[in-house]
Amino acid sequence: MSRIAEAFADGPAFVPYLAAGDPNYEASLSYVEALERGGADVIELGLPFSEPIAEGPTIQSAIVRALEGGMTPTRFFEFVEDLDVDVPLVCMTYYNLIYQFGEGEEKGPEAFVRRAAEVGIEGFVVPDLPAEEAAPLREACDAHDCELVFIVAPTTRGERLERIMSQVSGYVYVQARLGTTGARADLSDQTDESLARIAEWDVPKAVGFGISSGDHAQRVIEAGADGVIVGSALVDIVAKGVERGDPPVTVASRLESKARELKEGALRGAAGSNEQPHPERT
Amino acid sequence: MSSHTGKFGEYGGQYVPEALMPAIEELEDAYQRYVLENEDGFMDDFRARLADFGGRPTPLQHAKRLSERYDRDVYLKREDLLHGGAHKLNNALGQVLLAKYMGKERIIAETGAGQHGTATAMACAHLGMPCEVYMGRRDINRQRPNVFRMRLNGAEVNPVTVGRGTLKEAISETMRDWATNVEDTHYVIGSVVGPHPFPAMVRDFQRVISEEAREQIREKAGRLPDSVLTCAGGGSNTMGVFAEFIPDDDVDLYAVEAGGSSLEVDEEAGVAPNSATLSTGTEGVLHGSRTRVLQDRDGQIMESHSVSAGLDYAGVGPELADLVDRGRVTAVNVDDDHALEGFHRLSQLEGVIPALESAHAAAYVEENHEDLGEVILLNISGRGDKDLETVLEETHGRDIENAPEIETFAETGGFQ
């Protein structure tokens, strides 16, 4: 069983996201480490791309800060090597960076995944790579024992679901609602519908997009998810720290307590689900 | 050339967020039925509207004084005379009409120079569809007349402030809107770029340029041209005027790109001082398709530059990239200064004030007419009214040898 699968098997999994290098290399290392102390089971690390078409304004700004701070694919792999965390790491990035990585004949998904696996990355999420175009990356992941996570959107139905199911590994990223990433005050019915459509899939289901509080995390797990993915609500803490000029140690401690709140929410959700396998929702 | 897989050689494809894939599949289906198979008489409706509302066919003008100057026959395909002042209406009208046939309720678009936004706003007003246009803050500042025209047609113009505030950022922003509102909204992409079926579909809406030009030049010159030239940014007028000539092996096709201020690239700053994607770009994945892009070694997309906002884009249509790789189309480029010279020359010699985009192609003919054969077809993709302030500022600021005396205008603050 892969370490990512184990993280979900011990469930419910809390999967936080941060953009690597936001706002700079050193601070970002301490932020990612704070997430583990706060209870992260798997961490999604963003490798920043200049045209993040699937991201909302919060994560887009984080990506701009990280790029301005000098983050590159090469630095990203150094960053992962320098990180002192034990939980499995998933690299979230856009396809062009994967496609361009390496030199000459070696260039492309194989070179990227090989290097990523060397430094300890165990999975990938690539939001602009639908299942139709994913074969080269899928092969590279298989060759290096890495997971390839796909996103299921509220609009995904019919044959597309089959196509994704046949390719996905690690966990499936269930997009809670239409749109781009970004924290929201409430969760949509789209989450329940999306979870219902893939209820039979033999892969853990992690819900992301819009989760910003422990209560959200609880509700998502109660709705049947195996994990929660949280990005913008955490990135927002980094952004506020930059805005106010707070020292990194303060920001790291805020991230740790936010992570704890989210993880505890997920745990509450699991406890509730155990008592009531099919809770009535109002 | 039409491709069901959406691939042009190695280029093309569909690289978009999962949430958009069902909308793209729906669009593929609509493209197949309405555009390729003329279901419900869609193409007849489209062509009738292009004639009555758009003013097609546009003329093919024998450019007498240019012909004398170069001692060969130069013909101008006058897309600047299409309603709205550019070829952009062909595509915008086609897509807004298609969205209507598909039952969509809202139109979004992005725009660089403002020509596509203007065309989309006009098509939406004509067809009674609500319209929002995303436009880079920097482009809004340099293309104000077009922004006003969009407003007059009832469109909302949303400024995009991220990055350098040009077309590249506006496209990303429009994709985000689409991902949020995909169920009732159609995104009218402004060029032969983006995920399949956009590159093929936009080409088919623009193909009317070469359908007309091919007939017209046969009538006027008695034969096909030796060469066809036009400017290339994203490549929609380029593919439009090339499409019907592609099987004619004796007709040389030239895509004239914006050489900007230099072809050298500043890797450190992530800036290409040009928009010459076909000439200097490398294979990558941008805005939904695999194509040639201006990027650094890591694959980060570069900021591009051109004196003409409509060419200022770091990508190019995948089909055009493939035609260049296969040697069917020759990619060349013209720098900002020469484009300005071309602008003034066409204005003075033919009484045609071209868009700065088209001026690039005109400038290439000036420098290279001896290699272009006896009959030259030059596509004037749009008119230059939108560029007057830019031309005033840029001409005043540098040494353009054939420019008229404009000191007085510049000193009195131009048109403000």
Identify whether residues B41 and B73 lie together within a single domain.
Answer: no
User: Is residue A191's pLDDT more than 90?
Assistant: no
Domain contains B13: no
Strands B156-160 and A227-230: unpaired
| Domain total of chain B | 2
Mark whether B99 and B186 lie in a shared domain: yes
Option in B17, B285, B300 nearest A54 (CB) = B17
Question: Of A234, A117, A189, A53, nearest to B162 (Cα)?
Answer: A53
Q: Is pLDDT of A183 > 60?
A: yes
What parts of chain B have a pLDDT lower than 50?
1-3
Instruction: Look at A96 and B295 and tell me if their CB atoms are within 8 Å.
Output: yes
Q: Do B18 and A151 touch (CB under 8 A)?
A: yes
Catalytic residue among B77, B88, B104, B168: B88
Please give the positions of A annotated as active site. Answer: 44, 55
Asked if A72's CB is within 8 angstroms of B298's CB, the reply is yes
Q: Is residue A280 part of a domain?
A: no
The number of distinct structural domains making up chain A is: 1
Assess if residue A222 is contained within a domain: yes
In chain A, residues with a C-beta closer than 8 Å to the C-beta of B27 are: none
Boundary (domain end) residue, out of B182, B202, B222: B202
The residues of B whose Cβ lies within 8 A of any Cβ of A are 13-23, 25, 162-163, 168, 172, 175-176, 179-183, 270, 284-288, 290, 293, 295, 297-301
Tokens at B259, concatenated: 């050489």
Say if A276 falls within a structural domain.
no
Domain assignment of residue A77, yes or no:
yes
Cβ neighbours of A178 in B, within 8 Å? 19, 179-183
Nearest to B15 among A60, A133, A155 (CB): A133
**pLDDT given for residue A185 in this prediction:** 59
Place of tokens 């899939």: A201
Q: Residue B179 and residue A180: Cβ atoms within 8 Å?
A: yes
Q: What is the pLDDT of residues A134-174, one digit of tens each?
A: 999 999 999 999 999 999 999 998 999 999 999 999 999 99
Taking CB atoms and an 8 Å limit, are A178 and B168 in contact across chains? Answer: no
Q: B264 and B192 in one domain? A: no
> The domain spanning residue B179 has which CATH number?
3.40.50.1100
ipTM rounded to 2 decimals: 0.92
Residue B68 shares a structural domain with residue B147: no
Confirm whether B88 is a catalytic residue. yes
In chain B, the residue whose alpha carbon lies closest to the alpha carbon of A164 is: B18
Residue of B14, B25, B293 lying closest to A133 (CB–CB) = B14
Which among B170, B202, B234 is the end of a domain?
A: B202
Q: Residue A142: which residues within 8 A CB-CB, separation 6 or more?
A: none
Domain that holds residue A27: 12-271
Distances (CA, A) of B209 to A27, B75, B82, B88: 56, 14, 11, 11
Picking from B168, B175, B285, the nearest residue to A95 by CB comes out as B285
pLDDT of residue B2: 41
Task: Taking residues A31-56, report their average pLDDT.
Answer: 96
Q: Does residue B239 sit in the same domain as residue B333?
A: yes
pLDDT at B386: 87
Torsion from C-alpha of B83, B86, B89, B91, nearest 10 degrees:
160
What's B174-187 look like in SS3? HHHHHHHHCCCEEE
For the domain that residue A85 is a member of, what is the CATH number? 3.20.20.70
> Does the residue B14 lie in any domain?
no
| Chain B residues in contact with A179 (beta carbon < 8 A) | 19, 176, 179-180
| String of DSSP letters for B110-165 | EESSSHHHHHHHHHHHHHT--EEEEEEHHHHHH-HHHHHHHHHTT-EEEEE-STTS
B12 belongs to a structural domain: no
| Pair type for strands B73-78 and B60-62 | antiparallel
CB contact under 8 A, B15 and A130: yes
What's the start-to-end Cα distance of chain A, in Å? 37
Same domain, B369 and B394: yes
Nearest-angstrom CA–CA distance, B137 and B135: 6
The helix/strand/coil state of A221 is helix
Residue A276 has pLDDT above 70, yes or no: no
Two tokens, residue B380: 């004037």
pLDDT band at A182 (very low <50, low <70, confident <90, very high): confident
Q: Residue A186's pLDDT is what?
A: 63
B299 and B198: one domain?
Answer: no
Answer yes or no: do B250 and B380 share one domain: yes
What is the pLDDT at residue A273? 67
Residues of A in contact with B21 (CB under 8 A): 130, 132, 153, 155-156, 160
Whether residue A275 has pLDDT greater than 80 = no
Q: Is A191 on the interface with B (CB under 8 A)?
A: no
| Whether residues B49 and B141 fall in one domain | yes
The verdict on B69 and B128 lying in the same domain is no
Starting at the edge strand found earlier in the chain, the sheet holding B252-260 runs B60-62, B73-78, B375-380, B227-231, B252-260, B329-335
Are the beta carbons of B127 and B100 closer than 8 angstroms? yes
pLDDT tens by residue, B360-393 = 999 999 999 999 999 999 999 999 998 998 899 9
Same-domain pairing of B268 and B343:
yes
Residues B197 and B278 in one domain: no
Domain membership of residue A277 (yes or no) is no
Sign, CA dihedral B123-B310-B391-B79, equals: negative
CA distance B266 to chain A (A): 15
Catalytic position from the list B110, B173, B244, B357 = B110
Domain span at residue B365 reads: 56-84+207-411
Please name the residue of chain B whose CA is at the shortest distance from the CA of residue A103. Answer: B297
* Any domain includes A7: no
Amino acid at A168: V
Residue B4 lies in a domain: no
Q: Is B315 within the bounds of a domain?
A: yes
B10 occurs within a structural domain: no
User: Would the CB atoms of B270 and A50 count as touching at under 8 Å?
Assistant: yes
Q: Which of A64, A95, A128 to mutate to test the interface with B (most CBs of B within 10 A)?
A: A128
Burial of B173 (0-12, 13-18, 19+ CB in 10 A): buried
pLDDT at A282: 39
Q: Is there a contact between A96 and B182 if contact means CB atoms under 8 Å apart?
A: no
pLDDT tops 50 at residue A120: yes
Which of these three, B145, B169, B202, is where a domain ends? B202
Q: Domain for residue B8, yes or no?
A: no
Nearest to B59 by CA among B42, B41, B75, B38: B75
Q: Is A278 a member of any domain?
A: no
Does residue A189 lie within any of the structural domains?
yes
Residue B1 has a pLDDT of 39
Residues of chain A found within 8 Å of residue B197, distances taken between Cβ atoms:
none
Minimal CA separation from B86 to chain A, in Å: 28
Mutation for testing the A interface, residue in B300, B301, B313 having most A CBs under 10 Å: B300
Interface test with A, best of B5, B10, B18, B28 (most A CBs within 10 A): B18
User: Per mean pLDDT, which range of A22-31, A36-45, A212-221 is the poorest?
Assistant: A212-221
Cβ distance A67 to B300 less than 8 Å, yes or no, reads yes
pLDDT in tens, A215-263: 999 999 999 999 999 999 999 999 999 999 999 999 999 999 999 999 9
Of A60, A74, A100, the CB nearest to B284: A100
Domain annotation covers residue B197: yes
Closest by Cβ to A157, choosing from B15, B22, B293: B22
